[in-house]
């Protein structure tokens, strides 16, 4: 299934994408796409529904973040060897873990705002893992039992805030609008192998990133198991798993986003995003 949320910010409704690409309303069956609705048993009940019997949503409503009330937005840094190389950094001996504020989350086609004082706002297409039930001290062998599905995540980053200011990476990752997710969460049964997905990103029509999840250093099952040793992963938590090469910071000369730019990105089987870049007020 492809589960989504549609409507104005703060008033999104749960929906399902049908085989023809239309949106079907799920309000009679679930209050939102998040929390308990992501449990395997709850998803199994939704899977029994015939989309043709659900109310069709007319027009072209805004698509919101695909998961509601995300508790933790956990990110993995330098998880592609070729991206680590372009950043001038070694492949880490353990996953690099940092948090992105949940207030950064927006819909897949919402504007990306360059924060005040920014000169180095950058792009990163990433595979997002959506957690479906509480995971604590889980093994790698059982880790996939705790995954509800996957989504496209855009880990927008301000590199000066991230790397040239004191402290950790979080403040360069958490500005408002720096976390577009969606357009939908694709349940894991639809993705035969999350480590074989092509991924790409363009700025103003020019391809910047063209990679695949097969080159991830630490793969999906390992990451879920690894993180669960340090914190409980809860339903609706999102793990953003790192980016392939092609970010602006790694270019010579470096290249960063400016107001007026248009970003397009996508992952095979998970949909696409498109964002207009604007200056924050």
Contacts of 147 (CB under 8 A, 6+ apart): 129, 130, 131, 132, 188, 220, 224
pLDDT > 90? residue 132: yes
Task: Please name each of the domains of the chain with its CATH number.
Answer: 2-53 (no CATH), 73-279 (3.90.850.10)
Any alpha helices (H) in the chain, and if so which ranges? Answer: 40-47, 81-86, 159, 220-228
pTM here is 0.96
As a whole number of angstroms, the distance between CA 226 and CA 224 comes to 6
Q: Label the pairing between strands 262-267 and 198-203.
A: antiparallel
Angle at the Cα of 133 from the Cα atoms of 152 and 62, rounded to 5 degrees: 35
Tokens 């004082």, residue located: 117
pLDDT at 85: 78
Phi-psi region at 10: left, alpha or beta (left = phi > 0; alpha = psi -120 to 50): left
Q: What is the DSSP string of 63-108?
A: B--SSSS-S-EEEEES-BHHHHHHTT-PPPSS-EEEE--GGGEE-T
Residue 11 neighbours by CB distance under 10 Å: 10
pLDDT at 166: 81
- What is the pLDDT averaged over residues 150-165? 94
Alpha-carbon torsion angle 169, 109, 197, 100, nearest 10:
20
pLDDT at 164: 86
As a whole number of angstroms, the distance between CA 146 and CA 246 comes to 31
The single-letter DSSP state of residue 37 is G
**What are residue 210's phi and psi, to 5 degrees?**
-150, 90
Contacts of 204 (CB under 8 A, 6+ apart): 261, 262
pLDDT at 83: 78
pLDDT > 80? residue 107: yes
pLDDT at 163: 86
Say if residues 268 and 106 touch (Cβ distance below 8 Å).
no
**Among candidates 228, 1, 5, 233, which has minimal Cα distance to 110?**
5
Over the stretch 60-92, which tens digit does the pLDDT of each residue have? 999 999 999 999 999 999 899 877 777 787 888
For a pLDDT cut of 90, what percent of the chain falls above it? 92
pLDDT > 80? residue 261: yes
pLDDT > 90? residue 135: yes
pLDDT > 80? residue 27: yes
pLDDT at 207: 98
Average pLDDT, the chain: 96
Q: Which of 66-70, 85-89, 101-105, 180-184 is predicted least confidently?
A: 85-89
pLDDT > 90? residue 255: yes
pLDDT at 167: 79
**Among candidates 125, 123, 107, which has minimal Cα distance to 180?**
107
């Amino acid at each position: 299934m492809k589960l989504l949320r549609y409507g104005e910010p703060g008033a999104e409704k749960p929906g399902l994408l049908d085989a023809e690409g239309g949106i079907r309303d799920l309000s009679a069956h679930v209050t939102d796409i998040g929390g308990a609705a992501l449990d395997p048993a709850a998803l199994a009940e939704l899977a029994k529904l015939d989309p043709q019997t659900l109310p069709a949503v007319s027009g072209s409503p805004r698509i919101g973040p695909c998961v509601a009330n995300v508790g933790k937005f956990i990110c993995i840094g330098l998880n592609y060897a070729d991206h680590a190389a372009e950043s001038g950094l070694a492949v880490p001996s353990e996953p690099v873990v940092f948090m992105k504020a949940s207030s950064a989350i927006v819909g897949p086609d919402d504007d990306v705002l360059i924060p005040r004082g920014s000169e180095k706002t950058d792009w990163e297409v990433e595979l997002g893992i959506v957690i479906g039930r509480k995971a604590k001290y889980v093994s790698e062998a059982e880790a996939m039992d705790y995954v509800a599905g996957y989504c496209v995540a855009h880990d927008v980053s301000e590199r000066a805030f991230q790397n040239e200011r004191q402290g950790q990476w979080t403040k360069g990752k958490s500005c408002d609008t720096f976390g577009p997710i969606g357009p939908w969460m694709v349940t894991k049964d639809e993705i035969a192998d999350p480590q074989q997905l092509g991924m790409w990103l363009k700025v103003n029509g020019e391809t910047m990133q063209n990679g695949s999840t097969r080159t991830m250093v630490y793969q999906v099952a390992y990451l879920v198991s690894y993180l669960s040793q340090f914190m409980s992963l809860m339903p609706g938590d999102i793990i953003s798993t790192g980016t392939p090469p092609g970010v602006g910071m790694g270019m010579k000369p470096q290249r960063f986003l400016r107001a007026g730019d248009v970003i397009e990105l996508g992952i095979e089987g998970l949909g696409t995003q498109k964002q207009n870049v604007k200056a924050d007020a």
